[in-house]
Amino acid sequence: MLYYVSGQVTVLEPNLAVIDCGGVGYGCRVTAYTAAQLKINQPAKLFITESIREDAYDLYGFISREEQRCYDLLTSVTGVGPKAALAILTAGPQNFTLAVMTGDEKLLTAAQGVGKKLAQRIILELKDKVGGSSVELDFSAGPASAAPVTGNNTALATAALQELGYSPAEIATALKGADPNASTEELVRHALRAMVTKN
């Protein structure tokens, strides 16, 4: 069983990364989130989930254990295959976790092949599992386009919501009335609930 592979990135495509480990190239299917953090000819470490079937042997590589756990949880849901799971995790494990915990279907249905019914099933089956998992809702890094982190929870919540695809205007409206002293996670939940209610 492969736990992880560590070596130089020799091939990097939208859904594929090849890691050279001692002269052997391991082809790993990856999410766009993981691919964005890899660089060609640079060292990398990917945690591996193996998929062994009669006609195929696939390796799925993840930049973190959190992302790998989210993938494993997703593929445990009936109707969610590897391709759909990778598409859902494009926004990253933190945003996926937050979407499930708050019951927000927007991020899930944005993934190719995921309709509203499947999104609802994912939320229903994984809400308790994700809520009690080791996945941390850490938005301290923020997206590359976000304002520099200042420790302001409202700014961090805004950055997280922008990663989910919401516009600044939508975010500003959704955060009206929120407690400015609340944690980043609480602020994001407040905004998502406001948006869901509005829709």
Across 93-98, average pLDDT: 86
The per-residue pLDDT for range 166-192, each reduced to its tens digit, is 788 888 888 888 887 888 778 887 888
- CATH assignment at residue 161: 1.10.8
Assess whether pLDDT exceeds 50 at residue 134: no
**Does a structural domain hold residue 71?**
no
Record the pTM: 0.66
Tokens of 119: 């999104």
Domain count, the chain: 3
The answer as to whether 159 is a domain residue is yes
Residue 69 lies in a domain: no
| Least reliable range by pLDDT among 1-10, 28-37, 65-74, 139-148 | 139-148
pLDDT of residue 143: 41
- Where is 69: in which H helix or E strand? helix 65-75
Q: Which of 68, 70, 71, 90 lies closest to 81, judged by CA?
A: 71
Kindly report the CATH number assigned to the domain that includes residue 43: 2.40.50.140
b (16+ CB within 10 A) / e for 108-135: bbbbeebeeebbebbbebbeeebeebeb
CA distance 119 to 128: 15
pLDDT tens-digit readout, 37-49: 999 999 999 999 9
Confidence of residue 144 (pLDDT cuts 50, 70, 90): very low
User: CA 19, CA 22: separation in Å to the nearest integer?
Assistant: 10
Contacts of 94 (CB under 8 A, 6+ apart): 66, 135, 136, 137, 138, 139, 160
Is the pLDDT assigned to residue 15 strictly greater than 60?
yes
